[in-house]
Structure 1
């Protein structure tokens, strides 16, 4: 199956309009996000695109300093390609990326907990020690 799909961090191949449409209109976590916001988030992240016959079928991005932390965001597979193991291929590529081998990971999600658990994610034991600042 891996040979059917190409995974790359080449931002020039990303279909930003398609990514924006998914995030702004179909995701639960980024409803209403503007095209400018999506573009800026892509420009400032390590992005992963999955392609089938040159069509983008999945996306994820990582915000990282490549030393101490990585925050996994905007992980999705387009509807027509869900249920084919593409999400797992995408996560395999992310977690094996050479720049991300020594980082501590963060992820905020309301779904796919079972999938992320396979990669070592767990709930935060002491969430009181984490703080946030919203804009």
Structure 2
């Protein structure tokens, strides 16, 4: 992959909402069955990121950031289209998101993954220092 093959955007208006919903609701283990209304509301309340094919304009990756933009953020819904996996699209997506995070100077950014620890470690993510301090409330 070259920089000329794909482009990064954080413009929510550019996100292909129908495609993102289809990816997440049918292929992403953490979002299976998510409704379009829930996905759209989540996008509207988040900072959205995408990678796009430079020639066709088709979206090939997505991620969103839930944040107060001051102290904390949660990186979630990271998805790379199966047909471009292994081409560096995910790495470029996370590099660009990392630059956006650096500009915010947040104290903590978290994410959850069951498959991509190695990718995120390249960008400074590590296992929780005190996981016993964290709790969750599940629906």
* TM value normalised by structure 2: 0.92
1:124 is displaced (CA, Å) by 1.4
The alignment covers a number of residue pairs equal to: 135
Deviation at 1:2, TM superposition (A): 1.6
Matches within 5 A, 1:42-53: 42-52=43-53, 53=55
Is the contact made by 1:66 and 1:99 (CA closer than 8 Å) also made in structure 2? Answer: no
Deviation sequence 1:51-107 (CA, Å, 0-9, x none): 002000000000111111110000011011111000010001101016433341101
Residue of structure 1 equivalent to 2:122 = 118
- Runs of 5+ in structure 1 lacking a partner? none
Contact 1:66 1:103 in 2 (8 A): no
Query: Counterpart of 2:109 in 1: which secondary structure?
Result: strand
Runs of 4+ in 1 over 2 A off after TM superposition: 98-103
Query: What's the C-alpha RMSD, in Å, of the aligned pairs?
Result: 1.2
TM-score under structure 1 length normalisation: 0.94
